[in-house]
Amino acid sequence: MQTVSTIGGLRAALAALRDRGPLGFVPTMGALHNGHRSLVEASRRQCDVTAVSIFVNPTQFGPNEDLSRYPRTLEADLQMLESTGVDVVFTPTPEVMYPAGASTVVDVGALGDRLDGASRPGHFRGVATVVAKLFHLVQPQFAYFGQKDAAQVAVLRQMVRDLDIPVELVVCPIVREPDGLAMSSRNRYLSPQERRTALALSRALAAGQALADSGEVQAGNLQRAMEAVLLNEPGLKIDYVAVVDWKTLLPVDAVKSGALLAVAAWVGTTRLIDNAVLAAR
Ligand code: AMP
Protein backbone atom coordinates (compact mmCIF):
# COMPACT_ATOMS: atom_id res chain seq x y z
CA MET A 1 0.00 0.00 0.00
CA GLN A 2 1.33 3.42 -0.96
CA THR A 3 0.43 6.49 1.08
CA VAL A 4 0.78 9.77 -0.81
CA SER A 5 0.04 13.34 0.25
CA THR A 6 0.72 15.37 -2.87
CA ILE A 7 -1.13 15.59 -6.17
CA GLY A 8 2.01 14.61 -8.08
CA GLY A 9 2.52 11.61 -5.82
CA LEU A 10 -1.09 10.52 -6.25
CA ARG A 11 -0.97 10.81 -10.04
CA ALA A 12 2.31 8.86 -10.23
CA ALA A 13 1.07 6.09 -7.92
CA LEU A 14 -2.17 5.66 -9.86
CA ALA A 15 -0.49 5.86 -13.29
CA ALA A 16 1.58 2.82 -12.39
CA LEU A 17 -1.54 0.82 -11.42
CA ARG A 18 -4.17 1.86 -13.94
CA ASP A 19 -3.43 -0.84 -16.52
CA ARG A 20 -4.30 -3.54 -13.97
CA GLY A 21 -8.00 -2.88 -14.57
CA PRO A 22 -10.93 -0.88 -13.14
CA LEU A 23 -10.10 1.59 -10.39
CA GLY A 24 -12.42 1.95 -7.39
CA PHE A 25 -12.31 4.99 -5.12
CA VAL A 26 -13.55 5.51 -1.55
CA PRO A 27 -13.48 9.12 -0.29
CA THR A 28 -13.47 9.43 3.52
CA MET A 29 -12.70 11.87 6.32
CA GLY A 30 -10.83 9.21 8.30
CA ALA A 31 -11.60 7.99 11.85
CA LEU A 32 -12.43 4.83 9.97
CA HIS A 33 -14.91 2.21 11.18
CA ASN A 34 -16.63 -0.83 9.72
CA GLY A 35 -18.92 1.35 7.61
CA HIS A 36 -15.87 2.66 5.74
CA ARG A 37 -14.45 -0.85 5.63
CA SER A 38 -17.58 -2.11 3.87
CA LEU A 39 -17.04 0.47 1.10
CA VAL A 40 -13.43 -0.61 0.67
CA GLU A 41 -14.49 -4.25 0.55
CA ALA A 42 -17.10 -3.46 -2.10
CA SER A 43 -14.42 -1.77 -4.20
CA ARG A 44 -12.03 -4.71 -3.68
CA ARG A 45 -14.71 -7.12 -4.93
CA GLN A 46 -15.54 -5.08 -8.02
CA CYS A 47 -12.24 -3.43 -9.00
CA ASP A 48 -8.62 -4.39 -9.58
CA VAL A 49 -7.22 -1.28 -7.92
CA THR A 50 -8.64 0.49 -4.85
CA ALA A 51 -7.75 4.03 -3.78
CA VAL A 52 -8.96 5.70 -0.57
CA SER A 53 -8.71 9.35 0.41
CA ILE A 54 -8.56 10.60 3.98
CA PHE A 55 -9.26 14.31 4.13
CA VAL A 56 -11.19 16.27 6.73
CA ASN A 57 -12.57 18.78 4.26
CA PRO A 58 -12.77 22.22 5.91
CA THR A 59 -15.15 23.67 3.29
CA GLN A 60 -17.98 21.32 4.27
CA PHE A 61 -17.96 22.45 7.92
CA GLY A 62 -19.86 25.53 9.06
CA PRO A 63 -18.17 28.13 11.26
CA ASN A 64 -19.71 26.70 14.45
CA GLU A 65 -19.31 23.04 13.58
CA ASP A 66 -16.87 20.39 14.75
CA LEU A 67 -13.97 20.81 12.28
CA SER A 68 -11.33 21.38 14.95
CA ARG A 69 -12.43 18.48 17.15
CA TYR A 70 -13.24 16.04 14.33
CA PRO A 71 -11.47 12.78 15.28
CA ARG A 72 -8.14 12.18 13.54
CA THR A 73 -6.76 8.64 13.86
CA LEU A 74 -4.41 8.38 10.88
CA GLU A 75 -2.22 5.55 12.11
CA ALA A 76 -5.08 3.23 12.97
CA ASP A 77 -6.79 4.20 9.69
CA LEU A 78 -3.73 3.27 7.63
CA GLN A 79 -3.41 -0.06 9.43
CA MET A 80 -7.03 -0.87 8.71
CA LEU A 81 -6.69 0.09 5.04
CA GLU A 82 -3.51 -1.94 4.64
CA SER A 83 -5.17 -5.01 6.13
CA THR A 84 -8.15 -4.55 3.78
CA GLY A 85 -5.93 -4.65 0.68
CA VAL A 86 -6.06 -1.00 -0.39
CA ASP A 87 -3.49 -0.01 -3.04
CA VAL A 88 -3.20 3.77 -2.64
CA VAL A 89 -4.18 6.13 0.20
CA PHE A 90 -4.30 9.86 -0.48
CA THR A 91 -3.86 12.02 2.64
CA PRO A 92 -3.63 15.62 1.42
CA THR A 93 -3.39 18.68 3.65
CA PRO A 94 -5.94 21.50 3.25
CA GLU A 95 -3.21 23.51 1.46
CA VAL A 96 -2.82 20.76 -1.15
CA MET A 97 -6.56 20.64 -1.83
CA TYR A 98 -7.13 24.39 -1.58
CA PRO A 99 -3.97 26.31 -2.52
CA ALA A 100 -4.05 30.02 -1.83
CA GLY A 101 -6.29 31.77 -4.33
CA ALA A 102 -8.53 28.77 -5.11
CA SER A 103 -12.05 30.11 -5.68
CA THR A 104 -14.05 27.74 -7.92
CA VAL A 105 -16.89 25.83 -6.26
CA VAL A 106 -19.44 23.23 -7.34
CA ASP A 107 -23.00 24.12 -6.37
CA VAL A 108 -25.77 21.67 -7.26
CA GLY A 109 -28.55 24.19 -6.75
CA ALA A 110 -31.71 23.69 -4.70
CA LEU A 111 -30.95 20.04 -3.94
CA GLY A 112 -28.01 21.20 -1.85
CA ASP A 113 -30.33 23.16 0.44
CA ARG A 114 -32.53 20.22 1.46
CA LEU A 115 -32.33 17.94 4.54
CA ASP A 116 -28.78 18.31 5.92
CA GLY A 117 -28.24 21.17 3.47
CA ALA A 118 -31.05 23.10 5.19
CA SER A 119 -29.49 22.62 8.64
CA ARG A 120 -25.93 23.06 7.43
CA PRO A 121 -25.83 25.95 4.91
CA GLY A 122 -22.99 25.52 2.41
CA HIS A 123 -22.27 21.94 3.54
CA PHE A 124 -23.13 20.31 0.22
CA ARG A 125 -21.27 22.95 -1.76
CA GLY A 126 -18.17 21.93 0.18
CA VAL A 127 -18.90 18.24 -0.35
CA ALA A 128 -19.58 18.59 -4.10
CA THR A 129 -16.49 20.74 -4.60
CA VAL A 130 -14.10 18.39 -2.84
CA VAL A 131 -15.57 15.24 -4.39
CA ALA A 132 -15.40 16.81 -7.88
CA LYS A 133 -11.74 17.62 -7.28
CA LEU A 134 -11.04 14.12 -5.97
CA PHE A 135 -12.81 12.55 -8.96
CA HIS A 136 -10.64 14.61 -11.34
CA LEU A 137 -7.49 13.64 -9.48
CA VAL A 138 -8.22 9.94 -9.06
CA GLN A 139 -10.30 9.37 -12.23
CA PRO A 140 -11.96 6.23 -10.89
CA GLN A 141 -14.39 4.08 -12.87
CA PHE A 142 -16.35 3.35 -9.66
CA ALA A 143 -16.77 5.39 -6.47
CA TYR A 144 -18.27 4.01 -3.27
CA PHE A 145 -20.53 5.93 -0.88
CA GLY A 146 -22.64 4.93 2.10
CA GLN A 147 -26.44 5.15 2.17
CA LYS A 148 -25.82 6.53 5.68
CA ASP A 149 -25.32 9.94 4.04
CA ALA A 150 -28.37 9.62 1.79
CA ALA A 151 -28.70 13.32 0.96
CA GLN A 152 -25.02 13.37 0.01
CA VAL A 153 -25.67 10.54 -2.42
CA ALA A 154 -28.51 12.50 -4.06
CA VAL A 155 -26.28 15.59 -4.35
CA LEU A 156 -23.37 13.66 -5.84
CA ARG A 157 -25.58 11.79 -8.33
CA GLN A 158 -26.86 15.17 -9.53
CA MET A 159 -23.30 16.52 -9.81
CA VAL A 160 -22.01 13.51 -11.74
CA ARG A 161 -24.95 13.75 -14.14
CA ASP A 162 -24.76 17.52 -14.61
CA LEU A 163 -20.99 17.62 -15.10
CA ASP A 164 -20.76 14.41 -17.19
CA ILE A 165 -18.18 12.92 -14.86
CA PRO A 166 -17.39 9.41 -16.15
CA VAL A 167 -17.75 7.55 -12.86
CA GLU A 168 -20.34 5.09 -11.57
CA LEU A 169 -21.51 5.77 -8.03
CA VAL A 170 -22.05 2.63 -5.97
CA VAL A 171 -24.19 3.05 -2.84
CA CYS A 172 -23.52 0.60 0.00
CA PRO A 173 -25.91 -0.28 2.86
CA ILE A 174 -25.66 1.32 6.30
CA VAL A 175 -23.43 -0.65 8.66
CA ARG A 176 -24.77 -0.66 12.23
CA GLU A 177 -23.59 -1.56 15.70
CA PRO A 178 -25.23 -4.73 17.05
CA ASP A 179 -27.81 -2.61 18.93
CA GLY A 180 -28.82 -0.72 15.77
CA LEU A 181 -26.85 2.53 16.08
CA ALA A 182 -25.55 3.53 12.63
CA MET A 183 -21.76 3.56 12.69
CA SER A 184 -20.32 7.07 12.47
CA SER A 185 -16.99 8.70 13.21
CA ARG A 186 -18.98 11.10 15.39
CA ASN A 187 -20.20 8.30 17.68
CA ARG A 188 -16.86 8.72 19.50
CA TYR A 189 -18.12 12.02 20.85
CA LEU A 190 -20.95 10.33 22.77
CA SER A 191 -20.83 9.74 26.53
CA PRO A 192 -22.19 6.35 27.69
CA GLN A 193 -25.53 8.02 28.53
CA GLU A 194 -25.66 9.80 25.15
CA ARG A 195 -24.76 6.56 23.41
CA ARG A 196 -27.96 5.02 24.88
CA THR A 197 -30.01 8.09 23.93
CA ALA A 198 -28.68 7.91 20.36
CA LEU A 199 -30.42 4.57 19.85
CA ALA A 200 -33.68 6.51 19.50
CA LEU A 201 -32.74 7.40 15.89
CA SER A 202 -32.70 3.81 14.67
CA ARG A 203 -35.74 3.02 16.85
CA ALA A 204 -37.65 5.90 15.24
CA LEU A 205 -36.80 4.60 11.77
CA ALA A 206 -37.84 1.09 12.79
CA ALA A 207 -41.20 2.49 13.98
CA GLY A 208 -41.71 4.29 10.65
CA GLN A 209 -40.66 1.22 8.71
CA ALA A 210 -43.00 -1.05 10.73
CA LEU A 211 -45.94 1.27 10.13
CA ALA A 212 -45.17 1.36 6.39
CA ASP A 213 -44.88 -2.44 6.38
CA SER A 214 -48.34 -2.63 7.95
CA GLY A 215 -49.74 -0.81 4.90
CA GLU A 216 -49.66 2.87 5.94
CA VAL A 217 -48.88 5.07 2.95
CA GLN A 218 -49.50 8.57 4.33
CA ALA A 219 -46.11 10.19 4.81
CA GLY A 220 -47.52 12.43 7.56
CA ASN A 221 -48.47 9.41 9.65
CA LEU A 222 -45.05 7.83 9.21
CA GLN A 223 -43.41 11.11 10.14
CA ARG A 224 -45.53 11.42 13.30
CA ALA A 225 -44.70 7.85 14.33
CA MET A 226 -40.98 8.59 14.02
CA GLU A 227 -41.30 11.93 15.82
CA ALA A 228 -43.17 10.28 18.69
CA VAL A 229 -40.19 8.01 19.37
CA LEU A 230 -37.70 10.89 19.28
CA LEU A 231 -39.85 13.29 21.35
CA ASN A 232 -40.06 10.65 24.03
CA GLU A 233 -36.29 10.74 24.52
CA PRO A 234 -35.00 13.38 26.94
CA GLY A 235 -31.55 14.60 25.98
CA LEU A 236 -32.31 14.48 22.27
CA LYS A 237 -33.29 17.43 20.07
CA ILE A 238 -34.83 16.78 16.66
CA ASP A 239 -33.18 18.49 13.69
CA TYR A 240 -35.44 16.95 11.04
CA VAL A 241 -37.76 14.00 10.56
CA ALA A 242 -38.61 13.62 6.88
CA VAL A 243 -40.21 11.33 4.34
CA VAL A 244 -38.75 12.29 0.97
CA ASP A 245 -38.06 11.14 -2.54
CA TRP A 246 -34.44 9.98 -2.51
CA LYS A 247 -33.67 11.63 -5.84
CA THR A 248 -35.14 15.11 -5.26
CA LEU A 249 -35.05 15.12 -1.43
CA LEU A 250 -38.50 16.74 -1.56
CA PRO A 251 -41.24 15.60 0.83
CA VAL A 252 -43.73 13.08 -0.54
CA ASP A 253 -47.40 12.88 0.48
CA ALA A 254 -47.88 9.17 -0.06
CA VAL A 255 -44.96 6.80 0.05
CA LYS A 256 -44.07 4.40 -2.68
CA SER A 257 -41.09 2.16 -3.13
CA GLY A 258 -37.80 3.98 -2.84
CA ALA A 259 -39.08 6.68 -0.46
CA LEU A 260 -36.53 7.67 2.14
CA LEU A 261 -37.27 7.94 5.87
CA ALA A 262 -34.61 10.30 7.22
CA VAL A 263 -33.87 11.62 10.69
CA ALA A 264 -31.29 13.97 12.15
CA ALA A 265 -31.01 14.86 15.83
CA TRP A 266 -28.72 16.46 18.34
CA VAL A 267 -27.63 14.27 21.23
CA GLY A 268 -25.82 16.67 23.53
CA THR A 269 -23.47 18.57 21.22
CA THR A 270 -23.30 15.77 18.64
CA ARG A 271 -25.44 15.84 15.52
CA LEU A 272 -26.36 12.35 14.29
CA ILE A 273 -28.19 11.23 11.14
CA ASP A 274 -29.79 7.98 10.06
CA ASN A 275 -32.22 6.79 7.40
CA ALA A 276 -34.06 3.86 5.87
CA VAL A 277 -35.23 3.25 2.32
CA LEU A 278 -38.71 1.77 2.08
CA ALA A 279 -38.66 -1.52 0.23
CA ALA A 280 -40.75 -2.28 -2.84
CA ARG A 281 -44.49 -2.25 -2.06
P1 AMP B 1 -17.09 10.11 6.18
O2 AMP B 1 -15.72 9.65 6.54
O3 AMP B 1 -18.00 10.25 7.35
O4 AMP B 1 -17.11 11.29 5.25
O5 AMP B 1 -17.73 8.92 5.34
C6 AMP B 1 -17.08 8.41 4.20
C7 AMP B 1 -18.02 7.47 3.50
O8 AMP B 1 -18.35 6.40 4.38
C9 AMP B 1 -19.35 8.12 3.08
O10 AMP B 1 -19.70 7.66 1.79
C11 AMP B 1 -20.28 7.64 4.13
O12 AMP B 1 -21.62 7.58 3.70
C13 AMP B 1 -19.75 6.24 4.40
N14 AMP B 1 -20.21 5.77 5.71
C15 AMP B 1 -20.12 6.41 6.89
N16 AMP B 1 -20.74 5.70 7.86
C17 AMP B 1 -21.23 4.58 7.28
C18 AMP B 1 -21.97 3.45 7.74
N19 AMP B 1 -22.33 3.32 9.02
N20 AMP B 1 -22.30 2.50 6.84
C21 AMP B 1 -21.95 2.62 5.53
N22 AMP B 1 -21.25 3.65 5.03
C23 AMP B 1 -20.90 4.63 5.88
User: Separation of 86 CA from ligand 1 center, angstroms?
Assistant: 17
Contact 50, 13 (CB under 8 A): no
How far CA 180 is from CA of 151, 202, 228, 260, 266, in Å, comes to 20, 6, 18, 18, 17
**Ligand 1 atom nearest to CA at 149:** 12
Taking domain 2-172, whether its CATH number is 2.40.160.20 is answered by no
Atom number, ligand 1, closest to the C-alpha of residue 182: 19
Collapsing DSSP states into helix, strand and coil, what is residue 14?
Answer: helix
Residue 39 pLDDT class (50, 70, 90 cuts): very high
| pLDDT exceeds 70 at position 280 | no
Q: What is the pLDDT of residues 189-209, one digit of tens each?
A: 999 999 999 999 999 999 999
- Say if residue 37 is exposed, middle or buried (CB neighbours under 10 Å; 0-12, 13-18, 19+): middle
Question: Does the Cβ of 241 fall within 6 Å of ligand 1?
Answer: no
Within a 10 A sphere around the Cβ of 133, how many other Cβ atoms?
19
pLDDT above 70 covers a percentage of the chain that reads 99
Find out whether the beta carbon of 182 lies less than 6 Å from any atom of ligand 1: yes
Regarding pTM above 0.95, the answer is yes
Query: Which of 3.30.1300.10, 3.20.130.10, 1.10.8.60, 3.40.640.10 would CATH assign to domain 185-274?
Result: 3.30.1300.10
**Mean pLDDT confidence for 43-49:** 98
Q: Is 33 a catalytic residue?
A: no
Q: Where are the domains of the chain?
A: 2-172, 185-274
With a cut of 80, say whether residue 101 has pLDDT above it.
Answer: yes
Q: Is the CB of 186 under 6 A from ligand 1?
A: no
CA distance 209 to 121: 29
230 lines ligand 1 (CB under 6 A): no
What pLDDT is recorded for position 162?
A: 98
Closest Cα partner for 134 from 175, 106, 170? 106
Q: What is the mean pLDDT of residues 65-84?
A: 98
In ligand 1, which atom is closest to the CA atom of 147? 12
By C-alpha distance, which of 249, 88, 116, 268 is closest to 192?
A: 268
Residue 278 has pLDDT above 80, yes or no: yes
Strand partners, 169: 143
pLDDT at position 281? 62
pLDDT digits (tens, 9 = 90+) for 256-274: 877 999 999 999 999 999 9
Does 59 contact ligand 1 (Cβ within 6 A)?
Answer: no
